[in-house]
């Protein structure tokens, strides 16, 4: 028997965007709405907790910064693929979210005059990354989680894994989710929903993401007929700790850290003469890979390539106070004290500019369903996101989508969930996956998929490699006969891992198709066979739909209001 859970608004995902959306939905409902927050982990285990360096907002226009400057930096950083009305709204609303968090108890770092402290991040004209030392995500999540507990209207269903999105007569009807505790399916029947399931980082093996960061939301949206937008743009953060991939925050360079090669050269002076180590992430990552390819990198005993992030140039007390977590990470995971010796780093899969296509309000093509945070793509980040904009994006569109979903729920009745879809999910999970013995090891499939993505869809790309990579992905999908060796119902992580791997395969094919199709270099999509940006043909967003015959591509024009594309120089 499938359990049916009645609610007015269901928010899927317990990270920054999900918690902010749930709080806003509860506030907008004024005690009249039941808000269900569904998360496959406890919210404080969401990947948002690991955000380190800062949250961008213009707080001090009296000191030279401005909303216009934040807009320009973001548009330029996006390699002019950002939708400018979206960026304008983002920059205008960002300061409100910083102040709102402070009112809810966020312990922002302070300047000597008592005002909120800000640090410089890559691609910024002014220091506008608000921070809480280097534990921004943890403190933001703690603040939002504590705030959510004040609302009796919010019920948190942690350890529930969404398996599908339900639609009825062209509108959102709820979700199907698997209870990890009982192993039973449940239907969350809702009038409105917000998808906030985060990124897809674990499709790469060297990634800064937690292991729960898989594209479950992306795949569920694709299966229900919604398009994914700009999935070819995958951001590689310049400084992943070797060999683990744990993120070394950009704040390390914002505080004065320097990237060096095997010759001890500060090589970023060659690639970005003005910004140097604080150029946007796509530029720094390409520079690092170029240094390695041209023989100026180093190798570990296991043969892994790396370069050096030198924090010894920073005052030790600054490292101890403002980069506390980074020092702890280096000591525990690499046996290195960054106060005394450089950190081994290389570009690491970190963020997806693409996601479920939405409009400026975060509304998807399915009436009653919104998306916010990294799973969504509203055109804010274009081809490359600036550091410290992502946590702000989660807060801004968490607020927007939560409020809109609540208002929709108050003016609409519940749609009847399609019973045939629920039955289909039951058969897929309990008969297909849990029934027969597995013919292939799903973890072998995952390792092969990650290997393909590392080889074919990394910092630099070219047609032959991408064609081969896409062929291998499709072969994996065609031969896929996944099953679950563990037949238990209670906390069956083998089952959830298999569901995640299915989603990874679907979304990797989308990335492959979108990347192969875009015959230019722009932002994080760098093709050696098409090295130039092509505004005449490619100043547009890629939309990928799932169709009966496979994947189909269409396009959306970039919304340009003020800033015409020019050459990016830093």
Which of 89, 135, 202, 237 is labelled catalytic? 237
Collapse the DSSP code of 392 into the 3-class scheme (helix H, G, I; strand E, B; otherwise coil) and give the result.
Answer: helix
Instruction: Give the whole-angstrom CA distance, residue 172 versus residue 174.
Output: 6
Q: Is the dihedral of CA 142, 144, 145, 149 positive or negative?
A: positive
Instruction: Give the whole-angstrom CA distance, residue 44 versus residue 145.
Output: 8
| SS3 letters across 350-364 | EEECCEEECCCCCEC
Angle (nearest 5°) at CA 327 between 325 and 332: 90
In sequence order, what are the residues at sequence separation of 6 or more whose Cβ sits closer than 8 angstroms to the Cβ of residue 251? 52, 53, 54, 119, 121, 129, 131, 134, 322, 323, 326
Which of 502, 414, 408, 509 shows the shortest CA–CA distance to 452? 509
Instruction: Give the whole-angstrom CA distance, residue 451 versus residue 457.
Output: 10
Which of 20, 218, 253, 286 is labelled catalytic? 253
Q: Is the dihedral of CA 445, 446, 447, 453 positive or negative?
A: positive
Instruction: Give the whole-angstrom CA distance, residue 210 versus residue 286.
Output: 24
Q: Which uninterrupted H or E stretch holds 501?
A: helix 493-517
In sequence order, what are the residues at sequence separation of 6 or more whose Cβ sits closer than 8 angstroms to the Cβ of residue 391? 16, 48, 51, 54, 55, 56, 136, 137, 140
* 237 counts as catalytic: yes
Instruction: Give the whole-angstrom CA distance, residue 472 versus residue 74.
Output: 36
* 281 counts as catalytic: no
Instruction: Give the whole-angstrom CA distance, residue 92 versus residue 95.
Output: 7
Instruction: Give the whole-angstrom CA distance, residue 389 versus residue 154.
Output: 27
Cite the active site residues. Answer: 237, 253
């Amino acid at each position: 028997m499938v359990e049916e859970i009645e609610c007015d608004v269901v928010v899927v995902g317990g990270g920054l965007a999900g918690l902010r959306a749930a709080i806003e939905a509860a506030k907008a409902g004024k005690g009249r709405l039941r808000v269900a927050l569904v998360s496959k982990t406890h919210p404080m285990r969401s990947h948002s907790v690991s955000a380190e360096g800062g949250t961008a907002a213009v707080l001090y226009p009296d000191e030279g910064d401005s909303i216009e400057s934040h807009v320009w930096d973001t548009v330029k950083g996006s390699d002019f693929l950002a939708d400018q009305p979206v960026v304008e709204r983002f920059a205008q609303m960002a300061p409100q979210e910083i102040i709102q968090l402070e009112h809810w108890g966020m312990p922002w770092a302070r300047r000597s005059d008592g005002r909120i402290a800000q640090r410089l991040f890559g691609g910024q004209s002014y220091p506008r990354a608000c921070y809480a030392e280097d534990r921004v995500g943890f403190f933001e999540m703690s603040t939002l989680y504590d705030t959510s507990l004040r609302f009796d209207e919010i019920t948190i269903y942690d350890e529930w894994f969404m398996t599908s999105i339900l639609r009825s007569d062209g509108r959102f009807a709820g979700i199907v989710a698997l209870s990890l505790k009982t192993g039973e399916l449940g239907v969350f029947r809702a009038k409105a929903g917000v998808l906030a399931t985060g990124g897809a980082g674990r499709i790469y093996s060297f990634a800064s993401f937690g292991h729960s960061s898989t594209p479950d939301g992306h795949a569920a949206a694709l299966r229900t007929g919604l398009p994914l937008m700009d999935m070819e743009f995958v951001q590689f953060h310049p400084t992943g700790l070797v060999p683990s991939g744990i993120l070394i925050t950009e704040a390390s360079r914002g505080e004065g850290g320097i990237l060096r090669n095997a010759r001890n050269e500060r090589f970023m002076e060659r690639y970005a003469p003005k910004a140097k180590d604080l150029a946007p992430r796509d530029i720094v990552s390409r520079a690092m890979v170029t240094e390695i390819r041209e023989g100026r990198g180093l190798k570990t005993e296991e043969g892994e390539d790396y370069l050096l992030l030198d924090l010894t140039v920073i005052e030790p007390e600054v490292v101890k106070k403002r980069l506390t977590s980074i020092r702890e990470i280096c000591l525990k995971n690499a046996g290195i004290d960054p106060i005394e010796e450089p950190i081994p780093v290389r570009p690491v899969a970190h963020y997806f500019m693409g996601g479920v296509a939405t409009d400026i309000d975060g509304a998807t093509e399915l009436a009653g369903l919104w998306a916010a945070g990294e799973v969504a793509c509203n055109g804010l980040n274009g081809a490359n996101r600036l550091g410290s904009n992502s946590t702000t994006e989660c807060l801004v569109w968490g607020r927007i989508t939560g409020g809109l979903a609540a208002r929709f729920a108050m003016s609409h009745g519940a749609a009847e969930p399609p019973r045939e879809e629920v039955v289909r999910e039951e058969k897929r999970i309990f008969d297909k996956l849990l029934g027969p013995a597995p013919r292939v090891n799903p973890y072998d499939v995952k390792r092969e998929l990650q290997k393909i993505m590392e080889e074919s869809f990394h910092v630099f790309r070219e047609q032959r490699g991408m064609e081969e990579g896409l062929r291998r992905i499709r072969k994996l999908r065609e031969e896929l006969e996944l099953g679950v060796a563990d037949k238990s119902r209670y906390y069956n992580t083998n089952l959830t891992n298999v569901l995640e791997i299915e989603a990874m395969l679907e979304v990797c094919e989308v990335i492959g198709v979108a990347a192969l199709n875009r015959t230019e270099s722009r932002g994080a999509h760098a093709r050696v066979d098409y090295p130039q940006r092509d505004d005449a043909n490619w100043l547009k967003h890629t939309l990928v739909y799932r169709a009966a015959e496979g994947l189909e591509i269409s396009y959306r024009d970039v919304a340009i209001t003020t800033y015409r594309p020019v050459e990016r120089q830093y």
